[in-house]
A and B are shown apart, each in its own frame.
Chain A
Amino acid sequence: MQTNMFTQIKNQFATNDIIIKRKDLYKVEVAKERLFDLIKFIGNHYDYKTLNAITCTDWIEDGHFAITYMLTTLDRTSTFMVQTLINREDAHINSLVDDFAQSEIMERDLAEMYGIDFIGNKNLIELSLENWVHTPPLRREFDTLEFVNKHLTFREGRDDNIDTKKEAKRLRAIKKAEKEALKKAKEEAKAKEENQDGK
């Protein structure tokens, strides 16, 4: 059945080979236009009817987002990852909300964190951030540290604040010197003893 399913998907949706990540986890990459057909197809014919999650990976080097839909069978024995790539500059994709109601909040999350527009989702309002006007925070061009340095003040260190790395190095050097001195003293004592024995 598995091979049959793989062949059908490959032929009908012109995808690459299906990757078997685990014996109960498969992954396929599909063109954006055929995405929803594929999701419907594996739902209707192979029982992948539960949408677990919609995730997004930011491939800034290649200039796209990889959006993955995780679908599980009703008996919870197998999961299918259906992935599609979208342009990260003009990030938009159709919403899945008509087929899976739970996708609304998942899409809302991605819209907030990556700035992706899910066309057809009417409730793309802020979810966990409030009044956020900067770059969506999970996009990789968003420099967290730079943002923090610009917008927030740090507490100044204490007067006796020490650089722990330097301090550790210094302590190690002292310990090493002590050890060597001890070793040297022992060797000297031994040599002395031997000399006395010889005499």
Chain B
Amino acid sequence: MTEGFLQEQRTLEGDLNSENSHQNSVDFLMNWFRKRSIFVLAYGTGCGAIEMPPTFTSRYDAERLGIRGAATPRQADVIIVSGYCSYKTLRRIIRTYEQMSNPKYVLALGSCTVNGGMYWDSYNTIKKLEDYMPVDMYVNGCMPRPESILEGFIQLQKDIGNGKASSWQKYEENYEFYRKNQEAVLGEKVAPSYEADWYLYDGGL
């Protein structure tokens, strides 16, 4: 009697019995809903993005865990920083992250976000993502397989469930620290200008 629906049901209800004494019932319920419905921003920032399509499509089917794509930052819960992160990309990532509504979570994929990875001596990539924005979950590997990504997601769900994943609060509380680090590599104008050069250039559109 451990197959099919019953097993699924047991998994879902399993958390109800776990230790969540530090949360009140409303928080607990809200977190339970949140972790079962994670909308991931469809945005790839580096080579690790290539592992995301198999994760979300039929082969690994992340949607069975309630994880699916979102088209715009304002509808997304999770942003995945998938791989090496150049200054130019970092600018966009920060812009996107700040557009997302709370609660929001960050999943960092690959060695490059952890310590620079193979780009450790590159002049144009950052070495530690958590200096510039808060990170809820690191998934290491070069590159992480979809199994690892799912493992990271499941761990993130657990953290959301018991209220540990609260990086968005950390970002608000320590905004000055993050802003200082961002300005150190990006200059004072952290947000990108969005002026495509071929608009301005004579002979452009």
Show the binding face of A for B, using Cβ within 8 Å.
Answer: 122-123, 125, 128-131, 137, 142, 144-145, 147-148, 151-155
Q: Chain B 170-205 against A: per-residue CB contact (8 Å), 1 yes, 0 no?
A: 000000000000001111010010000100011000
Q: Give the bracket for the number of chain B residues in contact with chain A.
A: 20 to 34
Q: Across the interface, do A154 and B197 meet the contact criterion of CB distance under 8 Å? A: no
Chain A interface, >50% SS class: loop
Residues of A within 8 A of B114 (CB): 155
Chain A nearest Cβ from B85, distance in angstroms: 12
Q: Across the interface, do B127 and A155 meet the contact criterion of CB distance under 8 Å? A: yes
Please indicate which of the listed interface residues B91, B128, B186, B202 has the most CB atoms of chain A within 10 Å of its own CB: B128
In addition to A123-B197, A152-B127, 12 A-B residue pairs with Cβ atoms within 8 Å of each other are: A125-B197, A128-B88, A129-B87, A130-B192, A131-B186, A131-B187, A148-B121, A148-B127, A152-B185, A153-B131, A154-B115, A154-B127
Report how far A145 CA is from B116 CA in the complex, Å: 13
Residues of A within 8 A of B122 (CB): 144, 148
* Interface positions of B from 108 to 134, Cβ below 8 Å from A: 114-116, 120-124, 126-128, 131
In the complex formed, the residue of B with least CB distance to A125 is B197
Q: Across the interface, do B127 and A153 meet the contact criterion of CB distance under 8 Å? A: yes
Please indicate which of the listed interface residues B123, B127, B131, B187 has the most CB atoms of chain A within 10 Å of its own CB: B123
Q: Across the interface, do B128 and A155 meet the contact criterion of CB distance under 8 Å? A: yes
Report how far A43 CA is from B182 CA in the complex, Å: 50
Residues of A within 8 A of B197 (CB): 123, 125
Q: Which residue from A142, A144, A154 sits with its C-beta under 8 Å from B116?
A: A154
Q: Across the interface, do A151 and B88 meet the contact criterion of CB distance under 8 Å? A: no
A130 with B91, Cβ < 8 A, contacts A123-B201, A137-B124, A154-B127 known: yes
Report how far A151 CA is from B131 CA in the complex, Å: 13
Residues of A within 8 A of B192 (CB): 130
Residues of A within 8 A of B88 (CB): 128-130
Chain B nearest Cβ from A140, distance in angstroms: 13
Residues of B within 8 A of A155 (CB): 114-116, 127-128
Report how far A137 CA is from B122 CA in the complex, Å: 10
Residues of B within 8 A of A144 (CB): 121-123
Chain A nearest Cβ from B198, distance in angstroms: 9
